[in-house]
Structure 1
Amino acid sequence: MTTTTDLSYRDRAVLRAVAAGRCTVSAIGVLAVDGLGCCDQFVGRRLTNAGLIAPGPGPARLTVTGRALVEAA
């Protein structure tokens, strides 16, 4: 289980951007924020593998766990 102490500041910022509806995920798991590729090419896959962002192409969505972490911060 990932906790807020395991997340970097960048991870938390990306989760907040996903929660705000500002992110998309490509078919190969690349995360874009405000239409631009994220500077950390691994953050989308890392947060998806941690179970915080739902996998799949289209608008990025938080999982229940991801939403709980954003709300707890």
Structure 2
Amino acid sequence: MTIAKELSNRAKAMLKAVAAGRGQLSGGVEPDLYVDGLPCCDQATTHALVHAGLLRARRAVGLYERTDAELTDAGRAAIA
């Protein structure tokens, strides 16, 4: 089974928002996703996407800071 088939519609929408340049991640081991400046309510899915290597921060930031989010190659493949 491919990663794309395992992802929920919400997870795919979150990845698409990041692909469109609308996402930011907070610093820390369990980062939070912000879309259009607003916190995404599904923290568990954000954590799963980061730990699965589909989503990452563009640069390292402190715990209470944010940076742009970006998709990895696997993340782009998952929504292709």
- Determine whether 1:7 maps to 2:10: no
Over the aligned positions, Cα root-mean-square deviation in angstroms equals 1.7
- Equivalent residues, number: 71
Normalised TM-score (structure 2): 0.79
Corresponding residue number in structure 2 for 1:43: 45
- The answer to whether the Cα contact below 8 Å between 1:2 and 1:50 also exists between their aligned partners in 2 is no
Q: Displacement of 1:22 after TM fit?
A: 0.4
Normalised TM-score (structure 1): 0.86
Q: Displacement of 1:67 after TM fit?
A: 0.7
CA distance in 1, matches of 2:44, 2:12: 14
Structure number with greater Rg is 2
What are the superposed Cα offsets for residues 5-58 of structure 1, whole Å, 9 maximum, x if unpaired? 110000000010010000000013111011011011222211001110024441
Query: What runs of 5+ residues in structure 1 fail to find an aligned partner?
Result: none
Which consecutive segments of 4 or more residues in structure 1 shift more than 2 A? none
The share of aligned pairs that are identical, in percent, is: 46
Task: Indicate the structure with greater strand content.
Answer: 2
SS in 2 for 1:54: strand
Corresponding residue number in structure 1 for 2:79: 70
Query: What runs of 5+ residues in structure 2 fail to find an aligned partner?
Result: 62-66
